[in-house]
Amino acid sequence: MKGMYMNLYKESPASVRQLKTFGFTLSDVAMLPNILECPKGYVCRMSGLKTIRSGAVTKLLNLTTY
């Protein structure tokens, strides 16, 4: 996510405070959505959103369970 954020920053340095990148941390039983942003312009923060548990991950990714 940091790489994605830095690529966006290089394209538009003036908008550093408005940039946000979104990604997922995946595990066997859960998926955690994350947001990376730099609201003050000099320190980035990564915030986790509500964890999506196994059954919902399976439905979301359209996976077959055995």
For the stretch 5-50, pLDDT in tens is: 888 889 988 888 998 888 888 777 777 888 899 988 888 888 888 7
The pLDDT-based confidence of 62 (bands split at 50, 70, 90) is low
Residues β-bridged to residue 50: none
Return the domain boundaries, the chain.
2-60
Residues 6+ apart with CB under 8 A from 65: 58
Alpha helices in the chain (DSSP H): 2-11, 54-60
Per-residue pLDDT at 3 exceeds 80: yes
pLDDT score recorded for residue 45: 87
Residues β-bridged to residue 35: 22, 47
Per-residue pLDDT at 52 exceeds 80: no
pLDDT score recorded for residue 26: 78
